[in-house]
Amino acid sequence: MDTKKKKAIYIGVAGLAAVLILWYFLRETPVSVETTISKRGPMLVTIDGEGKTRVREKHIVTAPVAGKMSRIRLAEGDMIPHDYEITVIDPNPPLQRSPDTYDDRPSIYGAKVYAPAAGKVLRIYEKSGRMVSAGAPIVEIGDPDNIEIVVDVLSTEALLIPPGARMIIDNPNTAEPIKARVRLIESQAITKVSALGVEEQRVNVVGDLQTKGLRFGDNFRVDLRIVIWEASEVLMIPASSIFRSGEDWNVFVVVSGKARLRAVKIGHLSSEFAEVLNGIEEGERVVLHPPNQLTDGGAVSTQ
């Protein structure tokens, strides 16, 4: 091989190497993204909160007179019948009879305190014998089978709750949730300070349990959702895939290894999913949590 041919080969190899090196450094590096498929299915929009159970009708038994109360022999959780004798109070000073009453007893001792209704002892304010004033609470009684659910929500959220809305309560024992229905939205809001130190107007929402055979007591903590909208079948994508661009919602759709920016019209929006009215079709692949470096037409690699 003559010198000219060798030189041409060397030049060609060097040129190819230069092109490969240039391509390597200038080539587009695909952005790694996580994706999912748009699909049809049932969707719920809920107001989530932390509520508590409450005995619907409580009876607070109070001292009828001031005096020395005998020790209460009950324990919290005891079931007692109607007219059960809870304690006896020796009045102080002793209650005098009317002068018109012909009785040789100088005073009345032992004012007996009875249960106004059958139920469970929910709270004993003071078990030991002691001096009490008239009207002082002694015990609290309620029907453990008559439980309601109470949760406070923002006043702006309360306006969205329809009458009889479903309440879905997490069941710590099984995967099957506990069912309830909204019975009452209280008309009086209360001011509370949030964990961030912001004053909020909140409203109590009260619901009746529909699931039977529960072992709830009074003031038990529950995690729940109030359903404000639901549909059996809608086209939806994860809420984490959409983002605002001006006044419009947008999403990145993966087509042939490229990210394509697509404007979409969103209907109902929950904490997990967004209802898609138009802009994408069922089965299209969308990008979750779009990274800042992702651009329209940019190459992507899916996880």
Give the amino acid at 56: R
* Cα–Cα distance measured from residue 11 to residue 148, given in angstroms and rounded to the nearest whole number: 87
pTM of the model: 0.75
Map tokens 């002082």 to a residue: 136
Cβ neighbours, 10 Å, residue 56:
14
Q: Are 34 and 302 in contact (CB under 8 A)?
A: yes
Report H helices in the chain: 3-26, 155-158
**Triad 177, 226, 51: Cα angle to 5°:** 80
Q: What confidence tens digit (pLDDT) does each residue in 44-65 have?
A: 999 999 999 999 889 999 999 9
Q: How many whole angstroms from its chain centre is CA 4?
A: 82
Q: Is 227 left (phi over 0), alpha (psi -120 to 50) or beta?
A: beta
CB burial of residue 116 (10 Å; 0-12, 13-18, 19+): middle
Q: What's the sign of the alpha-carbon dihedral 35, 38, 43, 46? A: positive
Q: Are 62 and 116 in contact (CB under 8 A)?
A: no
Per-residue burial over 15-36, b if 16 or more Cβ lie within 10 Å, else e, is eeeeeeeeeeeeeeeebebebe
Helix (H, G, I), strand (E, B) or coil at 167: strand
Cβ neighbours, 10 Å, residue 117:
16
Q: Are 56 and 143 in contact (CB under 8 A)?
A: yes
Give the amino acid at 151: V
Residue 77: half-sphere exposure toward Cβ, Cα within 13 Å = 4
pLDDT at site 24: 55
Name the residue among 209, 207, 147 with its Cα closest to residue 179. 209
Helix (H, G, I), strand (E, B) or coil at 22: helix
pLDDT at site 104: 47
Could you tell me which residues are beta bridge partners of residue 296? Answer: none
Name the residue among 201, 202, 173 with its Cα closest to residue 50. 202
Report H helices in 132-179: 155-158
Name the residue among 246, 53, 215, 264 with its Cα closest to residue 149. 53
Name the residue among 96, 95, 94, 91 with its Cα closest to residue 66. 91
Mark the ranges of the chain whose per-residue pLDDT is less than 70: 1-10, 13-28, 93-109
Map tokens 């008559």 to a residue: 146
DSSP 228-251: EEEEEEEEEEEGGGEEEETTEEEE
* Cα–Cα distance measured from residue 152 to residue 52, given in angstroms and rounded to the nearest whole number: 10
pLDDT at site 65: 92
